[in-house]
A and B are shown apart, each in its own frame.
Chain A
Amino acid sequence: AQRVTQPEKLLSVFKGAPVELKCNYSYSGSPELFWYVQYSRQRLQLLLRHISRESIKGFTADLNKGETSFHLKKPFAQEEDSAMYYCALRYGGATNKLIFGTGTLLAVQP
């Protein structure tokens, strides 16, 4: 069965430090992966998706099929990056269902 694992509930870093939020997945089909972010008092929203291969707000994520990972990275954390981050896997073909990881709370200290 499909699964998304985010091993860290909380990641605390200092401003300017590199950030890596880990995400591993299990899926027998061709994976499509996303990172969603929820800032304080805001809605859950898409941060980036692997097929776009783009950098959003300085974040990047590369799909590694060999390691079944989709880690989110940023070289220099900013305080405004503090938020809850969810990794998600699209499954079910045309049904467009997402399975979410348990989330990682990123806290960037000044």
Chain B
Amino acid sequence: DADVTQTPRNRITKTGKRIMLECSQTKGHDRMYWYRQDPGLGLRLIYYSFDVKDINKGEISDGYSVSRQAQAKFSLSLESAIPNQTALYFCATSDSGANVLTFGAGSRLTVL
């Protein structure tokens, strides 16, 4: 079983719809992150969380929100999706004692 699981893996939606991407982990890590990957732009940090009560904005948080429902769960929401949010989204985790990220398999979102 995967340590970091993302659902859904693929999603096609329409402009204006609300979308939630979910991430769960079994690694027991306290830190969780959401990145988006765009061709030619690499990975950019959207939000990160150090524990259930700690949420922080990353480089490109506009248009997104997150929820840390439990230590093992970190969801990303697009309240009103727009086409330039079409991208591959990655969840990642890390332990506070280490500086290495463990990534999920990614969620490909297409906004029409």
Interface size class of A (residues with CB under 8 A): 20 to 34
Given A32-B99, A96-B31, A44:B90 Cβ within 8 A: yes
Q: What is the bound-complex CA distance between A25 and B59, given in angstroms?
A: 17
Enumerate 24 A-B pairs (CB-CB under 8 Å) in ascending A order.
A32-B99, A34-B100, A43-B103, A44-B43, A44-B90, A46-B100, A46-B101, A49-B99, A49-B100, A86-B43, A90-B99, A96-B31, A96-B94, A96-B96, A96-B99, A97-B58, A98-B45, A98-B101, A99-B45, A99-B59, A100-B35, A100-B43, A100-B44, A102-B42
Please report whether the interface of chain A is mostly helix, strand, loop or mixed according to DSSP.
strand
Q: What is the bound-complex CA distance between A12 and B34, given in angstroms?
A: 31
Question: Would B105 and A43 count as touching, CB distance under 8 A?
Answer: yes
Closest 3 CB pairs of A and B: A102-B42, A100-B43, A44-B103
Within 8 Å of chain A (Cβ to Cβ): is B80? no
Extra contacts besides A44-B90, A99-B59 (11): CB < 8 Å = A34-B99, A44-B103, A86-B43, A95-B56, A96-B94, A96-B99, A100-B35, A100-B42, A100-B44, A101-B42, A102-B42
* Residues of A with C-beta under 8 A to B43: 44, 86, 100
Query: CB-CB contacts of B70-95 with A at 8 A, as 1s and 0s?
Result: 00000000000000000000100010
* Residues of A with C-beta under 8 A to B101: 36, 46, 98
The size of the chain B interface, using a CB distance under 8 A, is 23
What's the minimum C-beta distance from A4 to chain B, rounded to whole angstroms?
Answer: 8
* Residues of B with C-beta under 8 A to A49: 99-100
Q: What is the bound-complex CA distance between A100 and B99, given in angstroms?
A: 14
